[in-house]
Amino acid sequence: MSKRALILGISGQDGAYLAQLLLSKGYVVHGTSRDAENQAFKGLKTLGIREQISVHSASLHDFRNLLNVITEVQPNEIYNLSGQSSVGLSFSQPMESFESIASGTIQLLEVLRFLNANVRLYNACSSECFGETTPGTHCSESNPFRPKSPYAMAKATAFWTTQTYREAYRLYVCSGILFNHDSPLRPTRFVTSKIVSAAVRIARSQRMRLELGNLDVWRDWGYAQEYVEAMWLMLQQPQPDDYVIATGESHSLQEFLERCFREVDLDWTDHVDVNPALFRPFDLAYSGADPAKAKSALKWQAQTTFDALIPLLVKHESHRQAEQG
């Protein structure tokens, strides 16, 4: 009998790739969005799998609604990818960010505790929880959390809540501490997608200048399509645990910018303006990862390096814009 999976927040980048992976493994896949009837599910359509997914309207703030959906679907595995996903937006909407991430996770855990069902839960955590680290530091699962944004505070709360429910109520629940991961499905509100899109547009002779904030930030960038496999692997282990998922290499945003423009034979300095007004109230200068535990325990390792990721993103965006004319 096929396993059943429920992806909460299936409309995002990770939700679409995860759905594709689970379908390839023979799962029956269900997904949720706050308003499924009016959600475009662009990612699922781009991957050509929308018709293979059963979708439901669900809110992590509504206990009865969430209970009804889980009872109806009867999933073997639940992947919680829902909640506000922008660090920058969290500074202007701190309460909404905390409620959608931290409070929503507690609500979900309470439903699972109430049902006492044999279901496994993956919770999406974030590298932002580590906060400011010394350049060259590679954070593992043992590093302390020092969140520096409302988004990171909410993710850290959800992480510790998930761990508490695992220990106190013996639930099979775990968290993936994912570092930055991009793909062609990444929304343009994220700076990396904004850069890729602008580089291609300018190369196509569109007169425009790109305005960006702080370029002196370092991140570990990977490929989202590979990271969802790590999510799945976490729920296949005999015992639940938490894992850092990353490439292990950090690069600056300026290098990301430079490489994208170089990919289309342009010099970024001719087309980009740094606007201090776009700087965040606080932006982590350096983020580095040590994914050794995932490699050892999950037998998972990132295959797409930074050098391979940039051409992949630019090539896809070039094709997309060419098709649009």
Cα 161 to Cα 178: distance, rounded to the nearest angstrom: 17
Q: For residue 166, give the nearest of 113, 219, 229 by alpha carbon.
A: 113
Catalytic one among 126, 127, 193, 250? 126
- Structural contact between residues 178 and 80, judged by C-beta atoms closer than 8 angstroms: no
- Structural contact between residues 200 and 265, judged by C-beta atoms closer than 8 angstroms: no
How is residue 287 annotated by DSSP? Answer: -
DSSP string, 104-150: HHHHHHHHHHHHT-S-EEEEEEEGGGG-S--TT--B-TTSPP---SH
Cα 160 to Cα 49: distance, rounded to the nearest angstrom: 34
Beta bridge partner(s), residue 28: 4
Catalytic one among 128, 226, 258, 263? 128
Catalytic one among 17, 79, 151, 227? 151
Letter for the amino acid at 165?
A: Y
Place of tokens 């269900």: 30
Tokens of 36: 């499924």
Place of tokens 């300018």: 202
How is residue 187 annotated by DSSP? Answer: -
Pairing assessment for the beta strands 243-245 and 251-252 based on DSSP bridges: unpaired
- Based on the residue annotation, tell me whether 126 is a catalytic residue of this protein: yes
Which residues are annotated as catalytic?
Answer: 126, 128, 151
